[in-house]
Amino acid sequence: MPLHIHTPLIESAALSRAAGCSIWLKLEALQPPGSFKIRGIGAACEHYARQGAKRFVSSSGGNAGLAVAYAGRHLSIPVTVVVPETTSERAKQLLSREGAEVIVHGASWQEANALAQSMLQVSDAFLHPFDNPLLWSGHATMIDEVAATGNKPDAVLLSVGGGGLLAGVMEGLARNGWGDVPVLAVETHGAASLHAAMQAGQPTALEAVTSIATSLGARQVCARAFELSQRGKVHSLLVSDEQAVAACTRFLDDHRLLVEPACGAALAVAYDMPEALAAFKKVLIIVCGGATASADNLHRWTAQFV
The DSSP secondary-structure symbol of 155 reads E
The answer to whether the beta carbons of residues 216 and 159 sit under 8 Å apart is yes
CA-CA distance, 289 to 124, in Å (whole number)?
Answer: 28
Of 185, 184, 192, 189, give the one whose Cα is nearest residue 279.
184
**What integer is the mean pLDDT of 83-96?**
89
* CB atoms near residue 108 (< 10 Å): 15
What pLDDT does 59 receive?
Answer: 92
Give the model confidence (pLDDT) of 40-79 as tens digits.
Answer: 999 999 999 999 999 999 998 789 999 999 999 999 999 9
Of 83, 59, 61, 79, give the one whose Cα is nearest residue 124.
79
Asked if the model's pLDDT at residue 219 lies above 90, the reply is: no
What pLDDT does 164 receive?
Answer: 96
Could you tell me the pLDDT band of residue 260, with boundaries at 50, 70 and 90?
very high
What pLDDT does 173 receive?
Answer: 98
CA-CA distance, 244 to 129, in Å (whole number)?
Answer: 22
Domain with CATH 3.40.50.1100 in the chain: 9-36+134-303, 37-130
User: Structurally, what CATH architecture does the domain formed by 9-36+134-303 represent?
Assistant: 3-Layer(aba) Sandwich (3.40)
What pLDDT does 272 receive?
Answer: 97
Give the model confidence (pLDDT) of 221-258 as tens digits.
Answer: 999 999 999 998 999 999 999 999 999 999 999 999 99
Asked if the model's pLDDT at residue 292 lies above 90, the reply is: no
pTM of the predicted model, to two decimals?
Answer: 0.96
Of 160, 140, 290, 138, give the one whose Cα is nearest residue 221.
160
What pLDDT does 154 receive?
Answer: 98
Class of domain 37-130: alpha beta
